[in-house]
């Protein structure tokens, strides 16, 4: 049985990899399908994202990484998939994913959607969160594979936090401007 795990994966996170690995145990073959979404401005190109996923999943023999445009259900039909694999983190994910699953069912009754609850340690994790943390100089090594963290740090002109070069690339801090205190001195009211 073949399952498609579609998404933007910009970037792939440890939460995505958790779903991929568990999906590979459930299905004969899993295709991670990177969506080319013209409505989003991604951090990484589609070929970059495909390479990041491939490097992260080399140990999985029943996994393929591909890309597509258009409707996920059309891609799944073209690949003759039996299922769409989706991860659920929070209640809001369930509402959106259930609506999408029902919609896909109206487009192809032969393809089922299978939901996997994200492991607890990744229930908060999203690609957007990773990018936001990195944008402001925070460490993301515990959220994405190491090679992906390096790619992200480079995108935001940062180096790996453990690197000695970090200070060379760090922005010069701006001087603090303080306003005169509006408080009255103690004892004078």
User: Is the pTM higher than 0.75?
Assistant: yes
Q: What is the pLDDT of residues 28-74, one digit of tens each?
A: 999 999 998 888 889 999 999 999 999 999 999 999 999 999 999 99
Q: pLDDT at residue 93 above 80?
A: yes
Is residue 92 very low, low, confident or very high in pLDDT (cuts 50, 70, 90)?
confident
For 39, residues 6+ apart whose C-beta sits below 8 A from its C-beta are none
26 neighbors 59 (Cβ within 8 angstroms): no
180 neighbors 43 (Cβ within 8 angstroms): no
Q: pLDDT at residue 14 above 70?
A: yes
Is residue 161 very low, low, confident or very high in pLDDT (cuts 50, 70, 90)?
low
Higher pLDDT, 43 or 186: 43
* Class level of CATH domain 2-123: alpha beta
Q: What is the pLDDT of residues 108-126, one digit of tens each?
A: 999 999 999 999 999 999 9
Q: Is 16 a catalytic residue?
A: yes
Q: What is the pLDDT of residues 137-154, one digit of tens each?
A: 999 999 999 999 999 999
* Of 30, 34, 35, the residue nearest 64 (C-alpha): 30
Q: pLDDT at residue 184 above 60?
A: no
Task: Supply the mean pLDDT for the chain.
Answer: 86
Q: Which of 49, 56, 127, 131 is catalytic?
A: 127
| Residue 187, marked binder | no
| Residue 127, marked binder | yes
Q: Is 184 a catalytic residue?
A: no
**How far, in Å, CA of 84 to CA of 72, rounded?**
9
Half-sphere exposure of 75 (CA within 13 A, CB side): 19
Q: Is 92 a catalytic residue?
A: no
* Of 46, 65, 36, 43, the residue nearest 135 (C-alpha): 43
Higher pLDDT, 19 or 188: 19
Q: pLDDT at residue 189 above 70?
A: no
Query: What is the spatial order of strands in the sheet that 2-7 belongs to?
Result: 63-68, 29-35, 2-7, 83-88, 112-117
Q: pLDDT at residue 166 above 90?
A: no
Q: Which of 36, 54, 79, 89 is catalytic?
A: 89
Q: Is 25 a catalytic residue?
A: no
């Amino acid at each position: 049985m073949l399952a498609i795990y579609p998404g933007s994966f910009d970037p792939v996170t440890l939460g995505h990899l958790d779903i991929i690995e568990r999906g590979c145990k459930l299905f004969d073959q899993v295709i991670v399908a990177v969506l080319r979404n013209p409505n989003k401005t991604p951090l990484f190109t589609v070929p970059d994202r495909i390479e990041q996923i491939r490097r992260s999943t080399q140990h999985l023999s029943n996994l393929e990484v591909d890309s597509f445009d258009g409707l996920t259900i059309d891609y799944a039909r073209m690949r003759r998939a039996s299922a769409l694999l989706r991860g659920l983190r929070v209640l809001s994910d369930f509402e959106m994913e259930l609506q999408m699953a029902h919609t896909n069912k109206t487009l192809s009754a032969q393809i089922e959607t299978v939901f996997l609850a994200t492991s607890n340690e990744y229930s908060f994790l999203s690609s957007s969160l990773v990018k936001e943390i990195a944008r402001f100089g925070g460490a993301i090594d515990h959220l994405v594979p190491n090679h992906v963290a390096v790619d992200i740090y480079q995108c935001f002109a940062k180096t790996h936090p453990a690197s000695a070069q970090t200070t060379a690339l760090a922005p010069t801090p701006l001087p603090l401007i303080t306003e005169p205190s509006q408080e009255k001195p103690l004892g004078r009211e």
